[in-house]
């Protein structure tokens, strides 16, 4: 390694430094404020063509004569000019730039200095992603940007299950499912990775991301017109940087542990619980005996001889505990970059492994990237970039977790000879021993994804550039599922062995032709851009399921061995978007900035008459700081006001609107007439050819500030976002024969405030403590429904929801939980047709009975406010940081809790350890087991507010004097705990995914790991 390094060093020093031995030669070392050497700094004599770069140790040599001015410049640092007075050694210390101002923000088809930004854009930089240190890019976004709410809905390793809402729900979709985390109105934002639209970013290695820019207000997103209304997340992968070869290697390794597990009853507690279920079954009868008690229960009526024996033997199996293991997690990322003035290159390799907390769950990801950018001549530049991901995700069994929570603790996991027992008791013939699942069930997704771009930039004259960029996205994925003989679904019946293979083949491309013109003269600065853009996306899929295999040997690799073909299906669809975009930035005296954007968009999936729409926006910024009067004060070190107004759209795609759905389509199926298969044709849905663009009109007022010599910096944004023509799959009366249709249903408003704050709390000597806060609060109101309707009710995953004028979109609409009927309230309860022990709900209209008119809006599924706090402390070479992710004020129906209390006692599953009602101990939290009553549903709506600690990290930067001997530029070692704590009133597993049921679920986990960041 050292040899190789020396070789590389020798090669690149030779490559980049021209050294002459002449008089007036000056040499020195360039360091940063921490006294660390800075390699790759450009050192030039002003007004000459003499220029060198500092070497790996920050050293340089250059010819200069007294009186010259030597300029030291390097990205991320303030450029300094030093008058040369003839000394032989000139050591220079560079100061880091005020990042907030110099930072370059990606705004879509271009970039702009943050200082010149007129819209509302939050950025997450590589350092933040590195600090967060997550396995996937979306987790790394959580809590990092004000107004970006990320709900993780799936804890399985490698899963892309997230709901992301930027500034609340704009568009609304009811394609949500329980496995998707339940109801959450709104849609995920548009993701653009290196110029191409993607649905999911879990294929990215977070360490390969150079920055994520989140466009929030309509003036920023208008450049993506029809697809911008849910916000846009622009992600750039790391590219080459000018300078010597820079090699960075980082890794981490650790283990993952399940935690925050809801407790279950143990053996003896289960017996008590079972008796209480029997009592509940007596109480539930309209003429039940309310004097019946647990002591009256004859246990042998409900447990068979074997179970009674197990109870007598004190069997108490903790099924969850048996399932758990520590998962291994590791990542290795190698990045290299470098280049000359003309050519830069970057490449990287990465491997990630993430195991779950039960056997069978793991995720392996391999990433390779490479980019090259080169000036072919003075006016022509060519760049290519490739990003390839190969990933294998095993979600393991979808039943094991659920079985572990269902099985009675009085069953035995092992036979007397130590072998695994398939059914824990002889009587149990439904729920199998979950310890069999890992070996008997496979659910494996493999995918190969390629994202690339090739761009040609022509610069015929100085101010004008034309770029033609083609970005393909190709993804092949294969899902294979096999349920072996001893999996729960197969229950040891060979005919039920099932193999499924789904192949999906996705291709999309974006072809952007960008014209750019820059003009600078005197007080005027113009940056104008026009884009012609085309986007095409095509998908095909092939799905096969075959059952009845004589052996488990083939898994899903020999479908022809199965005797019963149950599914053979395929599909194909293609759609396109065509856009014409223009944007003009005009600056006057570097004080007044104006941005105007317009996009004319055509979408193939809307009907002929509504295919095209125009989305304009304008934004104004006033750099107050540059006014004379501001120069005289010393409170503010930065002050800028931004005001924007714009319009974006949504063609309904993210809500499930598919190709050709503006037309009546015939689907085909089959029936049996005359003992042969007869083809049938049916209308697949009710087409709505009047469906048009959903539009979002947004007003944003922002203030960027810096105080106390930028010890406190930040920004505040307030916005008012109005959505009209909201596209919704509107449920229709079933009388129509259709479940619903895509329709423009109404208008809503999102109003909110977002605050981002960076503070340097202490900066004294060796100790520095800085904090980054963000806070966002959004209020959504449905203003109007078209067609004289005042409300639309619908349900998702057992949660009853309503769109009602005056309330927030998708409000939870059900009976309101009001405690449990107590014994002494038997008479009052009876008036409502209820019994003691049952759930009491509010009689909203006070008419003395509970009817559907007593349903009311009882909560909202989107949080009322969210925030994040990152706190970093540095002492000498040590650093410590932690991060809090906060979400408050939302409600979900806890499908996790929806288990079978009222099941008949002989079959009663194990239950969660909760304080339920019994005649002896009259709880107001949970109903009597076996006696929930008609409104037991109401009890499961729960507040899912939480504060999660995202990470706690302690790092140590090995001092340069040690590293110098090892010829290493930088080395940091650290230890971290990921997701160490959660604070929540919610007593289920994970407040973020409370809407999920247990099927396919995975535990919430924390990870302990150590790692290093190494730079050469």
Interactions with other proteins, residue window 486-525 (CB under 8 A): 491, 493, 495-496, 513, 515
Out of 384, 504, 532, 844, which residue is the one contacting other proteins (CB under 8 A)? 532
SS3 at position 938: helix
Binding mask 571-600 for other proteins (x = CB under 8 A): xxxxxxxx-x--------------------
Span interacting with other proteins, options 168-176, 362-370, 672-680, 889-897, rule CB under 8 A = 672-680
Residues 151-210 interacting with other proteins (rule: CB under 8 A): none
Exposure pattern of 590-616 as b/e (b: 16+ CB <10 Å)? ebebebbbbbbbbbbbbbeebbebebb
The region that residue 118 occupies, defined by phi over 0 for left and psi between -120 and 50 for alpha, beta otherwise, is alpha
Residues 14-43 interacting with other proteins (rule: CB under 8 A): none
Supply the minimum distance, in Å, between the C-beta of residue 296 and other proteins: 14
Supply the minimum distance, in Å, between the C-beta of residue 794 and other proteins: 9
In degrees and rounded to multiples of 5, residue 381 shows phi and psi of -125, 140
Pick 633 or 676: Cβ nearer other proteins: 676
Interface with other proteins includes 674 (CB under 8 A)?
yes
Residues 114-143 interacting with other proteins (rule: CB under 8 A): none
Supply the minimum distance, in Å, between the C-beta of residue 219 and other proteins: 25
Supply the minimum distance, in Å, between the C-beta of residue 312 and other proteins: 15
* Whole-angstrom distance, CA of residue 331 vs CA of residue 364: 10
Supply the minimum distance, in Å, between the C-beta of residue 285 and other proteins: 6
Per residue, what are the HEC states of 188-216? CCEEEECCEEECCCCCCCHHHEEEEEEEC
Pick 158 or 930: Cβ nearer other proteins: 930
Pick 76 or 833: Cβ nearer other proteins: 833
In degrees and rounded to multiples of 5, residue 959 shows phi and psi of -60, 150
Pick 73 or 934: Cβ nearer other proteins: 934
Interface with other proteins includes 732 (CB under 8 A)?
yes
Supply the minimum distance, in Å, between the C-beta of residue 493 and other proteins: 6
Q: Cα dihedral angle (424, 426, 430, 436), rounded to 10 degrees?
A: 40
Supply the minimum distance, in Å, between the C-beta of residue 719 and other proteins: 32
Span interacting with other proteins, options 96-104, 335-343, 442-450, 561-569, rule CB under 8 A = 561-569
Residues 255-294 interacting with other proteins (rule: CB under 8 A): 281-282, 284-288
Residue in the block written with tokens 């006692």: 905
> CB of 867 within 8 A of CB of 886?
yes
Out of 312, 675, 765, 766, which residue is the one contacting other proteins (CB under 8 A)? 675
Per residue, what are the HEC states of 395-454? CCCCCHHHHHHHCCCCCCCECCCCCECCCCCCCCCCCCCHHHHHHHEEEEEEEEEEEEEE
Pick 456 or 594: Cβ nearer other proteins: 456
Supply the minimum distance, in Å, between the C-beta of residue 533 and other proteins: 10
Out of 390, 604, 900, 923, which residue is the one contacting other proteins (CB under 8 A)? 604
Residues 391-450 interacting with other proteins (rule: CB under 8 A): 426-429
As given in the structure block, the two tokens for residue 240 are 């080459």
Supply the minimum distance, in Å, between the C-beta of residue 313 and other proteins: 17
Interface with other proteins includes 376 (CB under 8 A)?
no
Pick 69 or 732: Cβ nearer other proteins: 732
In degrees and rounded to multiples of 5, residue 276 shows phi and psi of -65, -30
Span interacting with other proteins, options 228-236, 262-270, 568-576, 1005-1013, rule CB under 8 A = 568-576
Residue in the block written with tokens 């290093």: 1012
Interface with other proteins includes 78 (CB under 8 A)?
no
Out of 291, 301, 419, 631, which residue is the one contacting other proteins (CB under 8 A)? 301
Pick 82 or 732: Cβ nearer other proteins: 732
Supply the minimum distance, in Å, between the C-beta of residue 745 and other proteins: 10
Pick 195 or 905: Cβ nearer other proteins: 905
Supply the minimum distance, in Å, between the C-beta of residue 498 and other proteins: 10
Nearest to 39 by CA among 6, 1, 12, 7: 12
Interface with other proteins includes 549 (CB under 8 A)?
no
Out of 257, 386, 684, 710, which residue is the one contacting other proteins (CB under 8 A)? 684
Residues 692-731 interacting with other proteins (rule: CB under 8 A): 730-731
Nearest to 137 by CA among 286, 331, 306: 331
Residues 929-948 interacting with other proteins (rule: CB under 8 A): 930, 934
Interface with other proteins includes 816 (CB under 8 A)?
no
* Whole-angstrom distance, CA of residue 960 vs CA of residue 946: 42
Supply the minimum distance, in Å, between the C-beta of residue 102 and other proteins: 33
Supply the minimum distance, in Å, between the C-beta of residue 620 and other proteins: 31
Per residue, what are the HEC states of 31-49? ECCCCCECCCCEEEECCCC
User: Strand 80-83 to strand 69-73: parallel, antiparallel, or no bridges (unpaired)?
Assistant: antiparallel
Residues 841-880 interacting with other proteins (rule: CB under 8 A): 852
In degrees and rounded to multiples of 5, residue 942 shows phi and psi of -135, 150
* Whole-angstrom distance, CA of residue 147 vs CA of residue 363: 30
Count of other CB atoms within 10 angstroms of residue 909: 18
Interface with other proteins includes 801 (CB under 8 A)?
no
Out of 395, 516, 597, 603, which residue is the one contacting other proteins (CB under 8 A)? 603
Out of 325, 611, 913, 972, which residue is the one contacting other proteins (CB under 8 A)? 611
Out of 564, 709, 761, 845, which residue is the one contacting other proteins (CB under 8 A)? 564
Nearest to 978 by CA among 1006, 955, 946: 1006
Residues 759-798 interacting with other proteins (rule: CB under 8 A): 787-793
Residues 646-665 interacting with other proteins (rule: CB under 8 A): 658-660, 663-665
Interface with other proteins includes 610 (CB under 8 A)?
no
Interface with other proteins includes 460 (CB under 8 A)?
yes
* Whole-angstrom distance, CA of residue 278 vs CA of residue 861: 36
Supply the minimum distance, in Å, between the C-beta of residue 522 and other proteins: 28
Q: Cα dihedral angle (989, 994, 996, 998), rounded to 10 degrees?
A: 30
What string of DSSP letters covers 110-177?
A: SEEEGGG--S-EEEEEHHHHHHH--SSHHHHHTTTSTTEEEEE---STT---EEEEESS-SS------
Pick 303 or 971: Cβ nearer other proteins: 303
Give the helix/strand (H/E) hosting 630: helix 628-631
> CB of 774 within 8 A of CB of 146?
yes
As given in the structure block, the two tokens for residue 796 are 């998702």
Interface with other proteins includes 605 (CB under 8 A)?
yes
Pick 189 or 659: Cβ nearer other proteins: 659
Out of 4, 553, 677, 830, which residue is the one contacting other proteins (CB under 8 A)? 677
Out of 4, 678, 762, 830, which residue is the one contacting other proteins (CB under 8 A)? 678
In degrees and rounded to multiples of 5, residue 809 shows phi and psi of -55, 140
Supply the minimum distance, in Å, between the C-beta of residue 902 and other proteins: 8
CA 834 to chain centre: 44
Please give the size of the binding site for other proteins, defined by CB under 8 A.
106
* Whole-angstrom distance, CA of residue 972 vs CA of residue 1012: 5
Query: 794 to each of 360, 800, 812, 935, how far by Cα in Å?
Result: 37, 6, 10, 18
Binding mask 305-334 for other proteins (x = CB under 8 A): x-----------------------------
């Amino acid at each position: 390694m050292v040899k190789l390094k020396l070789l590389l060093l020798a090669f690149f020093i030779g490559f980049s430094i021209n050294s002459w031995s002449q008089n007036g030669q000056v040499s020195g070392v360039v360091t940063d404020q921490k006294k660390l050497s800075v390699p790759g700094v450009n050192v030039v004599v002003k007004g000459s063509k003499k220029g060198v770069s500092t070497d790996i140790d920050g050293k340089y040599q250059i010819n200069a004569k007294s009186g010259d001015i030597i300029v030291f410049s390097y990205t991320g640092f303030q450029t300094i000019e030093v008058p040369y007075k003839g000394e032989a050694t000139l050591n220079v210390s560079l100061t880091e730039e005020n990042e907030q101002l110099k930072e370059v923000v990606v705004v879509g088809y271009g970039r702009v200095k943050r200082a010149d930004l007129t819209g509302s854009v939050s950025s997450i930089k590589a350092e933040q992603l590195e600090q967060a240190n997550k396995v996937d890019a979306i987790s790394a976004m959580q809590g990092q940007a004000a107004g970006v709410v990320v709900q993780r809905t799936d804890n399985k390793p490698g899963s892309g299950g997230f709901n992301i809402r930027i500034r609340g729900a704009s568009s609304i979709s009811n394609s949500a499912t329980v496995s998707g985390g339940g109801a959450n109105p709104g849609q995920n934002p548009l993701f653009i990775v290196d110029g191409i639209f993607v649905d999911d970013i879990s294929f990215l290695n977070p360490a390969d991301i150079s920055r994520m820019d989140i466009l929030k207000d309509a003036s920023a997103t208008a450049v993506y017109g029809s697809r911008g209304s849910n916000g846009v997340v622009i992600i750039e992968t790391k590219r080459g940087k000018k300078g010597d070869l820079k090699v960075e290697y980082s890794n981490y390794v650790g283990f993952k542990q399940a935690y925050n597990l809801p407790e279950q009853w143990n053996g003896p507690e289960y017996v008590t619980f079972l008796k209480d279920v029997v009592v509940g079954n007596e109480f539930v009868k309209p003429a039940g005996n309310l004097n019946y008690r647990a002591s009256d229960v004859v246990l042998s009526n409900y447990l068979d001889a074997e179970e009674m024996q197990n109870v007598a033997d004190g069997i108490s199996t903790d099924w969850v505990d048996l399932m758990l293991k520590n998962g291994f997690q590791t990542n290795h990322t190698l990045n290299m970059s470098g280049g000359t003035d003309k050519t830069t290159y970057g490449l990287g390799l990465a491997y990630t492994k993430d195991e779950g907390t039960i056997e069978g769950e793991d995720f392996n990801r391999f990433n390779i990237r490479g980019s090259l950018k080169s000036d072919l001549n003075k006016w022509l530049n060519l760049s290519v970039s490739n990003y390839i991901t190969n990933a294998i995700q095993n979600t393991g069994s979808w039943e094991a977790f659920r079985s572990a929570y269902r099985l009675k603790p009085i069953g035995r996991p092992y036979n007397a000879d130590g072998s695994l027992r398939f059914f824990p008791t002889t009587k149990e013939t439904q729920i199998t021993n979950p310890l069999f699942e890992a070996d008997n069930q496979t659910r494996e997704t493999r995918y190969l994804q390629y994202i690339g771009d090739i761009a040609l930039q022509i610069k015929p004259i100085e101010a004008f550039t034309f770029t033609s960029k083609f970005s393909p996205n190709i993804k092949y994925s294969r899902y294979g599922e096999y349920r072996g003989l001893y999996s729960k679904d197969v229950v040891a019946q060979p005919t039920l062995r099932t193999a499924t293979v789904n192949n999906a083949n996705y291709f999309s491309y974006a072809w952007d032709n960008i014209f750019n013109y820059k003009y600078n003269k005197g007080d005027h600065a113009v940056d104008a851009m026009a884009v012609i853009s085309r986007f095409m996306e095509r998908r095909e899929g092939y799905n096969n399921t075959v059952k009845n295999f004589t052996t488990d040997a083939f898994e899903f690799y020999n479908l022809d061995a199965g005797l019963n073909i149950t599914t053979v299906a395929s599909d194909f669809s293609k759609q396109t978007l065509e856009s014409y975009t223009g944007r003009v930035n005009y600056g006057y005296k570097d004080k007044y900035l104006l941005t105007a954007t317009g996009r004319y968009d055509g979408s193939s999936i809307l009907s002929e008459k509504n295919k095209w729409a125009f989305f304009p926006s304008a934004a104004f910024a006033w750099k107050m700081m540059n006014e004379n009067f501001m120069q005289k004060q010393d409170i503010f070190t930065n002050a800028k006001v931004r005001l924007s107004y714009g319009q974006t759209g949504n063609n309904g795609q993210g809500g499930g609107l598919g190709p050709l759905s503006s037309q009546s389509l015939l689907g085909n199926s089959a029936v049996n007439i005359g003992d042969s298969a007869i083809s049938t044709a049916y209308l697949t849905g009710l087409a709505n050819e009047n469906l048009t663009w959903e539009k979002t009109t947004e007003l944003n007022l922002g203030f960027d500030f810096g105080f106390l010599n930028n010890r406190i910096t930040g920004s505040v944004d307030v916005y008012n976002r109005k959505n009209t023509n909201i596209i919704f799959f509107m449920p229709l009366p079933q009388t129509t024969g259709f479940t619903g249709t895509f329709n423009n249903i109404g208008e809503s408003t999102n109003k909110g405030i977002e605050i981002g704050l960076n503070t340097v709390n202490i900066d004294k000597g060796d100790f520095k403590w800085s904090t980054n806060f963000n806070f966002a609060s959004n209020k959504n109101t449905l203003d109007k429904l078209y067609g004289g309707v005042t409300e639309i009710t619908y349900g998702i995953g057992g949660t009853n929801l309503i769109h009602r004028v005056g309330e927030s979109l998708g409000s939870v609409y059900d009976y309101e939980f009001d405690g449990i009927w107590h014994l002494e309230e038997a008479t009052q309860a009876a008036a409502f047709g209820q019994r003691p022990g049952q759930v009491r709900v509010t009689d909203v209209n006070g008419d003395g009975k509970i009817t559907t008119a007593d349903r009311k809006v009882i909560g909202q599924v989107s949080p009322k406010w969210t925030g994040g706090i990152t706190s970093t402390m540095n002492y000498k070479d040590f650093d410590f940081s932690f991060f809090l992710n906060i979400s408050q004020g939302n409600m979900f129906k806890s499908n996790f809790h929806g288990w079978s209390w009222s099941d008949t006692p002989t079959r009663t599953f194990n239950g969660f350890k909760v304080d339920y009602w019994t005649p002896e101990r009259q709880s107001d939290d949970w109903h009597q087991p076996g006696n929930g009553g008609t409104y037991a549903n109401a009890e499961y709506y729960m507040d899912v507010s939480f504060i999660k600690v995202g990470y706690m990290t302690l790092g140590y930067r090995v001092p340069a004097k040690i590293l110098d001997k090892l010829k290493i530029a930088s080395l940091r070692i650290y230890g971290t705990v990921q997701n160490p704590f959660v604070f929540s009133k919610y007593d289920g597993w994970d407040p973020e995914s409370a809407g999920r049921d247990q099927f396919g679920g995975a535990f919430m986990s924390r990870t302990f790991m150590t790692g290093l960041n190494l730079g050469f």
